[in-house]
Amino acid sequence: MTSIDKLDIFNINAQLTEDERIVQESVGRWVDEQVLPIIGEAFDDHVFPMSLIPEMAELGLFGSTIQGYDCAGLNYTSYGLICQELERGDSGLRSFASVQSSLCMFPIDAFGSEEQKQRWLPEMAKGKAIGCFGLTESHAGSDPASMKTNARKDGDDWILNGSKMWITNGSIADLAIVWAQTDDGIQGFIVEKDMPGFDTELIKRKMSLRASVTSALFFDDVRVPEANRLPKVKGLRGPLSCLSNARYGISWGPIGAAQACLKEVLDYTEDRILFNRSLNENQIIQQRLSDMSRRITTAQLMALHLGRLKDNNEIHPVQISMAKWNNVRMALDIARDCRDMLGGAGITVEHVAIRHMLNLESVITYEGTETVHQLVVGRELTGKSAF
């Protein structure tokens, strides 16, 4: 009888192509060697490890599904595996890659002019230009249509006013993909960091995603050339398609966080002696570990099938909503349970569970809250909107 991988009970690895396996193994090895030794301290110090950006670029992790423009041209299952391995390191690291790839490079590739693609995509693929995505506002999170940021035409330029909130990469970004109300509907603009009137403010004192840059963006009569408007999309379809792309990756990412927590607690309960026997000899511990494994396996199967649907261009946004909802909830519950099983040791960043638990409190909120995704599924089932 062949042995079973404790973190891959259903042998998902055997369902991957050779190329997909190579991607997962190379990113996983890099996470083990370069991320895990430093990420706890980065989280503790509330800093994003900028030194990792060139290495991520060298691995081809930015815009990995884009064809051409110095991008890797991988399939979406490979992108999901990248997200899974990055989040096994830290949600902040996966968030950085998600924003760069799905929320910034994707709209330039999908909705930008050839000049915009040539200018930005190769530099972003190399990690030499960092992007952020300006959609959410302080009063308009789950309801982006109510945004107040606006752009008005002025000759050959646009004058942009307003603000955005909770923006990953905001204070380190070279460009922002900003969505604004215009007389012709919501449109997207590439706002460059040195444009007069554009400012950012770092959001501090976070207890989640501490190894990630989160900012507010401010636009005070920012003059944006027509050449910086994304010409191929108008309305909410633009930003929502970006979010669907990012949510797809998030459906994979938390699996890595859950695996990291389970691996740690498997080792801990083996070594921890309580009442003269190892902790994992107790029925209640084995029951809890088994339930974690069941939930991770369910999420793995869902993510893999979602990847195959996306690679075949058969995916539906409702499927992404269900997977994001299920898989993030799975990982958050497992991180909390692992933190509890570690006892007092579980509250320090010497162990991974508390860090993943706190990060996942953000992941379950951003890119559509859990409730929003539940209502998306509910609307599909009933044909009635409860928003």
Run of H or E including 56: helix 52-58
User: Distance (Å, rounded) from C-alpha 316 to C-alpha 347?
Assistant: 39
Confidence of residue 250 (pLDDT cuts 50, 70, 90): very high
Q: Does position 1 have pLDDT exceeding 80, yes or no?
A: no
Q: What is the mean pLDDT of residues 275-299?
A: 96
User: Distance (Å, rounded) from C-alpha 37 to C-alpha 32?
Assistant: 8
pLDDT in tens, 179-208: 999 999 999 999 999 999 999 999 999 999
**CB–CB of 289/265 below 8 Å?**
yes
Token pair of 202, please?
A: 């770092």
Integer CA distances (angstroms), 296 to 25, 184, 299, 372, in order: 19, 45, 5, 23
Query: Percent of the chain, pLDDT > 90?
Result: 97
Domain boundaries, the chain: 12-125, 131-228, 237-382
User: Distance (Å, rounded) from C-alpha 337 to C-alpha 363?
Assistant: 17
If we measure between CA atoms, which residue out of 54, 380, 376, 71 comes closest to residue 247?
Answer: 376
3-state secondary structure of 63: coil
Run of H or E including 278: strand 277-278
Residue 350 is among the residues annotated as catalytic for this protein: no
Q: Provide the mean pLDDT of the chain.
A: 97
pTM above 0.85, yes or no: yes
Q: Does position 171 have pLDDT exceeding 90, yes or no?
A: yes
Catalytic residue (choose from 18, 192, 367, 370):
367
What's at 253, amino acid-wise? G
Residues 6+ apart with CB under 8 A from 330: 254, 255, 258, 295, 296, 298, 299
User: Distance (Å, rounded) from C-alpha 89 to C-alpha 384?
Assistant: 40
Q: What is the mean pLDDT of residues 151-162?
A: 97
Query: Percent of the chain, pLDDT > 70?
Result: 100
What CATH code is assigned to 12-125?
1.10.540.10
Q: Per CATH, which fold does 237-382 belong to?
A: Butyryl-CoA Dehydrogenase, subunit A; domain 3 (1.20.140)
Q: What is the mean pLDDT of residues 105-129?
A: 98
Which is the CATH superfamily of the domain at 131-228? Butyryl-CoA Dehydrogenase, subunit A, domain 2 (2.40.110.10)
* Lookup result for tokens 């008005």: 152
